[in-house]
Amino acid sequence: MILSTVREPFFRAKAPFCTGKTAQLSTIIQCYPHLFPFVHIIEAFCCFRYKTKDMKTTCKKYPDFRKRFTFDAVFCIIKPIMKKTRLFLLLILCMIALCGCTKGPKELTIVAEDVKNVPAGEYTLQYSVTDFETYREAYDLQLTVNVYDENNRSIAVANNRTVKLSAEKTYTVIIRLTGKVKNKDISKYKQYTIETIRSDHTVYFVLKDGNITKTLTSCIVKDGEHIPMDEVPEIPAFYAQQNDREGHVRTIVSSKWVYYDENEVPHDLTQEYLSNITEDLKVYTQYEYNDTVIEYTIDFDTRGGEAYPSQKGTVENVFYRPTASPVRDGYVFLGWCTDENATSYYNWNKHYVISKDMTLYAAWANNNAADATPDSYFIFTEKTDNYGNPYYVLGVDDVARLTGDIVLPSAHNGLPVREMINGTFSNSEITSVYIPSTYTLRIARAFSNCGKLKNAIFEAGNLRDNLDVFAFFNCPLLESVVLPDHVITLDEGCFSGCLLLDNVVLPGTLEIVNEKAFLNCKSLHSVVLPNSVKRVYAEAYSGCDALKEFIVGKNSSLQEISSSALNGTAVTEIVLPARLENKITLDNTAIAIKYFSSETQTE
C-alpha cells in the first residue's frame, strides 16, 4: 500500500460513508504515485459531499488532519459553490501534478508580431524570447532566425538580428527555438512577416583631404532610383595641407570623386555606383597635388647709404650674412636690423632660412676716424656677435702711453669697434674720454682708478645696454657724466668713489640703480630720478654727504627703494607716489617720507 499507515486509518474511518471515493482515491494514488504530496487536498474534496457535522466528527477524531490542512475550513465555507465543480477542480489539480512544477522549454514564449511600413535598408528584427537566458544553459537552447523574400530566397541575417531589406517587399521571418530535455529534442518556432515601403536615401558628397572631412552637399533620392553623373557636383579647389610645409605652395594636379569599399579601398565614382540606390551613400573627394618651392626676397634699406642689391632664395636655401657692407659717408656700418629705427639686429645665426619676403635696415654710427686717437695706440681683435655680425674688440698694448684726452675709434678696417677688454684703461693718466655709440657699455672696470680723468662723454646710441660694474670706480677727479639714452642699468659701484662728481644726467631709459652705484660721491648735491626707474638698491647713494635733494616724480614707475639707499646723505624729505604709501621705510630716520596727493603736480 503506497499510502502511509498514518493515512490508512483516515480512509478506514471514512469507509462507512465514503467507501467508494476512498477506493477511487487509492486507485489514483497507486497509478500516479507523484500525487502523494497532494493527498490531503484530494481527501478534503472527497469529504465535501457529506454533511458538515460529519466533517467536524472527522476533524475531531483525526486532529492531525485539521492541523496540517487548515484551509479545509475555507473549503467548507464555499462548499455549496464547489459541489458542482469539485470533480472539475480535482481534474485540474491532477493535471498540474502530472505536468510537474518545473518550467520547461515548451513554456518559453517567442514574442513577435507582423510589421508594416518598414523603410528599405538595414533593419533590426524585432522579437524576444521570454526567459531565454534563464534556461539557455540548462536546456542547451539554440536560437536561429531565417528571413525569406517573396520568392522564398534566403536573406542574410547578421547576429540573428540585422537584415538588409529592399523596398516594397514582403519578407517572412521564422524564429526557431531548439533544446534538449532528458536527452529528448524539443523545438518551437514563431513566424511573422515584414512589409517594406519605398523610402528616401541620402547621398553625401564629402570633402576629404588629410585630416579634414567635411560634407559639402547632399541630395535625396527615392529607393531604387539613380543620380546621373552629369548632376554630380563639381569638386572644389582645396588645399587642406597647404601650411604643412613652410615655404611651399600647393597646386592641384588632378581631382576626382571616389567611394570606399568595405576594406577602405577607394574606387573611382561610376554611374553604376549611383544606380539603383537602396541605402545612404557617401562619396569623397580625392586630390593629387604638386608642391612648389616659393621664392622669397630680402630687400636691404641702407637708410641714407648707397643702394644695396636684394637677395632671392627659398626655404631650401641657406641665407648667409652679406659679406660686403653698405657704404655711407661719415658713418660706420654696425649691422642689419629688422626695424626701421635700427634698434634690433637680425639674427643671421638663427634665421638662416627665410619663409617670407622681408626688408632689413642698416644700423649706422658716426665714423670718427678723423678725430679718433690713432689706431697705433690700440690692439684690435675680431669677433662675431650672437647675431652673426663681425666687429672688433679694443685693447691697449701699453697703458702708460695713453695720456690727456682720447677719442675711442668707432671703426677699424671697415668694421665697427664695439667692445673693450675689461680694465682696458684702468690706472691710466687720461684726462677725458669720448666713447662712440658703437660701443657696448658692458666694460667692467674699464676706467677704474683713473686718477686724472675729469670728463666722460658718451655718444647717444640706439641699442639698450647696461653700464658695467665699477666702470668709473675711484675716479676722484671725475666731475660730470652725461649718460646716453640707451642705458637701462647702472651696475654695482659704477661711479663709487668719484669724489668730485657733482653733475650726473640720468637717461629716461634708466630702470635700475644697483648697489653702491654712487657710493661716497661726496660732491653730488642733487638727484632727479627719471620716471622710468623702478628700483634703487642698497647703498646706491650712501655716503653722499652733500646730497640734499632726491626728487621722484608723481608718475614715477618706482617700485622699490632700499632702506639703506640714502644712508649718510643730507636729504631731509622725499615725496613718493601715493601707491607706495606705507610700503617704503628708510634706515635714515631723519628723512621724512611724504606722498603725492591728487592735487600735487608731477615733479
Residues of the chain with pLDDT under 50: 1-22, 34, 36, 48-53, 62, 64-75, 77, 97-102, 599-603
pLDDT computed for residue 127 by the predictor: 93
pLDDT at 482: 80
Task: Give the cell for residue 351.
Answer: 634665421
Q: How many CB atoms lie within 10 A of CB 254?
A: 10
Res 19: pLDDT:
46
* Per-residue model confidence as pLDDT tens digits over 26-45: 555 555 554 545 555 555 55
Secondary structure (DSSP) of 275-304: SS--S-EEEEEEEEEEEEEPPEEEEEE-SS
CA 577 to mean position of chain CA atoms:
43
Q: Return d(Cα 549, Cα 528) in angstroms, integer.
A: 8
The answer to whether 50 and 17 have CB atoms below 8 angstroms apart is: yes
d(CA 166, CA 401): 109
Rg (CA), the chain: 55
Written as one letter, the residue type at 24 is: Q
For residues 419 and 295, give the distance between their C-alpha atoms in angstroms, rounded to a whole number: 38
DSSP 8-class letter at 323: S
Residue 81: exposure state from Cβ atoms within 10 A (0-12, 13-18, ≥19): exposed
Q: What is the pLDDT of residue 558?
A: 93
Which H or E run includes 110?
Answer: strand 110-111
> What confidence score (pLDDT) does residue 104 get?
55
Other Cβ atoms within 10 Å of 121 Cβ, number: 16
- State the pLDDT at residue 146: 95
Whether the model pTM is above 0.85? no
Q: What are phi and psi of 487, to 5 degrees?
A: -80, 130
As a whole number of angstroms, the distance between CA 369 and CA 332 comes to 10
Distance in angstroms (rounded) separating the CA atoms of residues 495 and 516: 8
Residue 409 and residue 402 in contact, taking contact as beta carbons nearer than 8 Å: no
Q: Is 397 helix (H, G, I), strand (E, B) or coil?
A: coil
Closest CA to 442 of 459, 420, 426, 463: 420
Cα separation, 63 vs 242, in Å, equals 101
